[in-house]
Every structure is written in C-alpha cells, then in structure tokens.
Structure 1
C-alpha cells in the first residue's frame, strides 16, 4: 500500500507539470516576440542608417554646389562689367566700369584690343565735350569715389602726349598737366577734363570701336 505522503506526491505531479509547461510556453512566446521586435528594430536602424548616409551625401553635394555658386558669384562680381554704348558719328564707345574690377592703362588697352577696339581717342573738340557730358560718365564717376576717372587712349611716349592711333595731342590745354612725365597716361574725369596719372593706377576705361562703313561700288 501507498503511504499518505506517496499519494499526496502523485496527486501533485500533474499540476506541477502543467505549471512548468505553461511557464516554458509563455517564456518561449515572449522570447520569440522579443526576437521579432529586435529584428524589426534592426531593420529600422538599417533603414535610418541608409537615410542618414543619403542625407550626408546630399549635404556634401549641396555644399559643393553652394561653394561653386559662391565662387561663380565672386567671379561675376569681379568680371560683370557695366556696359553702355553710345553712337557718335562713325564711332562706338563702350564704358567698362566696375568698382572691384579696375585695370591699369596697359590692361585696359589690351582688353579693348581683345574686343576689336582701342582705348577712346578724342580727336576733336566736339567729341571731347560730348564724352565728358554723358550722363553715364557722371553716374560712374560719382560711384567710383576715389577711383574715379576713365582711361582713354592717351599716354606719354618719348616725352610727348600721344594717342593710341599714333597722332599727337595737338591741344595741350586739354590736359591739366601739360609737361608729360614718362610712365603717365590720361584719364577723363567728370568736370575736370583730362588728368595725368600713373599708367599703373587702376581705373575704369572707355573703348572705342570704329563702325564699319559700307561704300557702294561704282560699276
């Protein structure tokens, strides 16, 4: 016969097994859920990492583009010259003036030649008055402050004032400094006429291009 203790143990074994089984099952389910959650979180983290990488790449590209735009704007500020044209008889004048982009006389003349022209030659009194009285000359002269004045095609060559077309300055009264020092060139200054300054100074400049004239053929 079974003792009382043995009967009691046999009665409790099935209940203990059920409890243990239930605990194991719940733990397994919880672990599975945790694993699923971990997998989802890892996928989200991977996606966020990829997005972050793409954003960093976009930022780098935008930074490069922004730098290029800044450089382009700076270049345009240096090189964007204000141009105005005036037709006078058979000549075309262009004024090149930008505060941050002045040139020496030689540089200005080279720029004009690159545009199939030369620094302006004032070869008669009418042109002299007209050139000084242009409204854009007045506007530019005021804007340029201490850098006012425009290079024209007049400089000292072997002790004489000479135009770039090879002709001499015949009317010395046109320029304030009649005794020409070597290394000096002339600028046109608003309300001051022509002024002698060092050719190495930097100023705005005026190019002159002869207009093409068509002569009819006589057959």
Structure 2
C-alpha cells in the first residue's frame, strides 16, 4: 500500500466515525450511503489535489537551481564588491601611511632647517653686536682724536700766528713784509722750511687773494718758455690767468715768473720779470 492510499483510508474512516456519532444509530442506511458517496467525492478531490503539483511546497530541483543562480550571482558580485572595497581601503591606508611618513620627514627637515637658520641668525646677531660695539668704540675714538687734533691745531695756529703764519686747509702760509725778486723770495721761503705757494684749488686761490697784495707765487717757465711749472716740478693744469695773460713771449719780454696782481678778480695771475721787487707768499705742510 502506498502512502497516498494509506492517507485516503485514514480520512475515510475518520469521516465515517464522525457521521455515525452525529447521526445516531446505524439504522439509517440511506444516510450511510450518502456519507459513502460524499466520502468518495472527498477521496476524488484528495486524489486530484494529491496528483497536482504542490504549489506551496518545495519546487522541483530544476526550478530551485534557476532560483538559486541569481542569488549566487548576487553573492559573487557582493563578494567582489567587498573585495574591491577592501583593496581600495588597504590602498588608501598605504597611501595615507606613506604620505604621513613623508610629511613627517619633511616636517623634521623643515624643523632642522629652522633650527639651523635660527642658530645662524643668532650667530650673525652676535657678530653684528660685536661689530656694532667695535664701531661705537672706534667712533668714540675718532671723536676723541678729532677733538685732540682740533685743540692741537688751535694751539699750533696760535703759536704760528705769533710768527706770521696763517693756517688754511692743512697748510701754513706766510706773507712777507718786505719785497724781493722771485728767486730771493723763494730762498726766504726755503729758509723757513717752506716754498713759494702752489695753488691747487679754487678755494686756495680765493684764500691767497684775500690778502689784497701783489705777491710772487711758485710758478715759472724759466726752464722752457711757455711751459709753466710749479716749484715742486709739476706742470700747470688749472690756471687763473688774467685776461690776455701770460703775454711776455708775445712782446719778446723776459717774463718768466707768475704773480697775484689783480687780486680783486678771480683770474688774477700775471707773468712778469723775475727780477722785479715784490712781496711773496710761502706755504708749508701742516706739521701734524
């Protein structure tokens, strides 16, 4: 007997028992007949439903495989996605770790460079302070020395003034009180440790003119006519000849020595005979 037949018999017996219990004694054969017919109908329905596929039960193996395939594909895709996410996460962590390490190394280098620059700055500041102190000491020394030199100049100038000397821009000047020819005038200057004046600048020219005297100066062309030289042997470069001077060679006159003549004019030089009697001006370097 199959499982299905056993189920049918069990259902039939249970239905018969129910009917007998509810309808009374078994003396009603027509009702029993009706129950048997109903039972057979139920059997047929059970058979029909038993033979039909179970729509609520498990599907055949082929259908189950079809239903399981999308799930497996989804699971595989999800696994791959998780793997890709994990790989990306690991990559990001590695890159972050590498970048963080490089950043820390750069930070250490910057910190070291900053420390080195700070040390160099401090060393330079120290050197600057030392140089500033030295500069201040030298400046103070120069001021003290300048003050002493000025005091000495005043003392020497006062002393020299008593002897007829006048100080101007590092030199002493002596104006004679007598007159003599050019050569004799120079000899007198040399005996005083000086020589006839050499005018090197406009300021010195102005200084000599302010004595308001006709004076021999240390300029001559006795060696070569027309080539004027100072008494120290240097050639004349900057001159203050009066208009039309020197002109001795134009008239055949022997005018080989220079003098300050037109002292009211800036261009006050004149050439004249060296044998003329004139005052003179001597110049010597400041002895300090």
Give the TM-score of the pair, scaled to structure 2. Answer: 0.37
Q: In proportion to residue count, which structure has more helix?
A: 2
Higher relative contact order (CA 8 A, sep 6+): 1
Structure showing the higher strand proportion among its residues:
1
* TM-score, structure 1 normalization: 0.48
Larger radius of gyration between Structure 1 and Structure 2: 2
